[in-house]
Amino acid sequence: MGAKLIDGKELSARLRVEIAAGVAALATRPGLAVILVGDNPASVSYVTAKERACAEAGMYSREIRLPASATEAEVVAQVAALNRDDAIHGILVQLPLPRHIREQAVVAAIAPDKDVDGFTPVNAGKLMIGEECFLPCTPHGIVKLIEFAGMETQGKHAVVVGRSNIVGKPVAALLARKGADATVTLCHSATPDLARFTRAADIVVVATGRPNTLTGDMIKPGAVVIDVGVNRIPDPTRPKGFRLVGDVDFAGCAEVAGAITPVPGGVGPMTITMLLWNTLESARRHAAR
Ligand code: GUN
């Protein structure tokens, strides 16, 4: 392996020390509420990890579990109650939601000043027009990881693969905004000849939800590769019966890249860290009112 490993666990640990100190310095305890609808195993495992991280940072966390049969109105009612609850500074609705619930209707019900995911139309719009807002956690974590890898984004060509609202679109906006100053190409499932774009990139961010989207022959020597994927591959030799792989062929890309994030231990821990960061920031703002 030629590439340097970009260690999300290490950067997270450093940032979480700062966050815990920030929590300890506040008179009010920051509170995060997570709404989980149904029992999607990946979602359950994310939510469990978020709760553990809150406890370790000295934050209050509340989990609201609803059955997969819950109606949209029931989920919106839970969000509305949390909007009014002074112990809660951050509200997160774990996505995806069951198909009969409109995600945008639920997300739009979150008070923008408690939207620590940065998913509401207000915060997503502010990001687009360059106003201060809660930054979405995974894109924010990715920018921090690129900085941590010592990669200057100014003047660089970043290629983002995937156009989701959670990762692709916001990370493209963050890399292109003033201060980051990358030139950004946004590729997606309808892009013909993806390799033509990725081979031209100094930084490649892959968020497609599809293993092996990026292989070693698709990148330029020395490129920085950020793998956002978390895919469960059946593996009877593992205690849980599966292993996690990203969207990137790690072994192949690590031969060619200058630096690369592993899965697990790359982007994943940073998402939760930036969620804690936003929750602390929200509690600070509420305390200052
Ligand atoms: N599902 C996958 N990633 C995320 C995330 O960052 N936030 C929420 N709410 N749901 C997700």
Ligand 1: centre distance to CA 251 (Å): 27
What stretch(es) of the chain map to CATH 3.40.50.10860? 28-112
Residue 289 confidence (pLDDT): 85
- List % helix, strand, coil for the chain (3-state, nearest 5): 40, 15, 40
Choosing from 94, 165, 230, 271 the residue with most ligand 1 atoms within 8 A of its CB, the one to mutate for a pocket test is: 94
List pLDDT tens digits, range 10-47: 999 999 999 999 999 999 999 999 999 999 999 999 99
Give residues with Cβ within 8 angstroms of 268, minimum separation 6.
8, 230
Q: Is residue 49 very low, low, confident or very high in pLDDT (cuts 50, 70, 90)?
A: very high
Nearest residue (by CA) to ligand 1, atom 8, is 94
CB 61 within 8 A of CB 34: yes
Residue 178 confidence (pLDDT): 96
List pLDDT tens digits, range 208-223: 999 999 999 999 999 9
Which of ligand 1's atoms lies nearest the C-alpha of 43?
A: 1
Pocket-forming residues, ligand 1, beta carbon under 6 Å: 92-95, 117, 137-138, 166, 271
Nearest residue (by CA) to ligand 1, atom 2, is 95
Complete DSSP assignment for 239-287:
TTSEEEE-SB-HHHHHTT-SEE--SSSSHHHHHHHHHHHHHHHHHHHHH
Alpha-carbon separation of residue 9 from 6, 13, 42, 148, 272 (angstroms):
9, 6, 19, 12, 11
Q: Which residues pair with 159 in a beta bridge?
A: 185, 204
Topology (CATH) of 136-268 = Rossmann fold (3.40.50)
Query: Is the per-residue pLDDT at 185 higher than 80?
Result: yes
Section 232-245 average pLDDT:
96
Query: Is the per-residue pLDDT at 1 higher than 80?
Result: no
Nearest residue (by CA) to ligand 1, atom 11, is 95
What stretch(es) of the chain map to CATH 3.40.50.720? 136-268
Choosing from 34, 48, 92 the residue with most ligand 1 atoms within 8 A of its CB, the one to mutate for a pocket test is: 92
Ligand 1: centre distance to CA 95 (Å): 5
Which of 3.40.50.720, 3.40.50.1860, 3.40.50.10860, 1.10.260.40 would CATH assign to domain 28-112? 3.40.50.10860
Query: Is the per-residue pLDDT at 266 higher than 80?
Result: yes
Query: Is the per-residue pLDDT at 189 higher than 90?
Result: yes
pTM of this prediction exceeds 0.95:
yes
pLDDT, the chain, mean: 97
Catalytic residue ranges: 50, 94, 117
Percent over 70 (pLDDT), the chain: 100
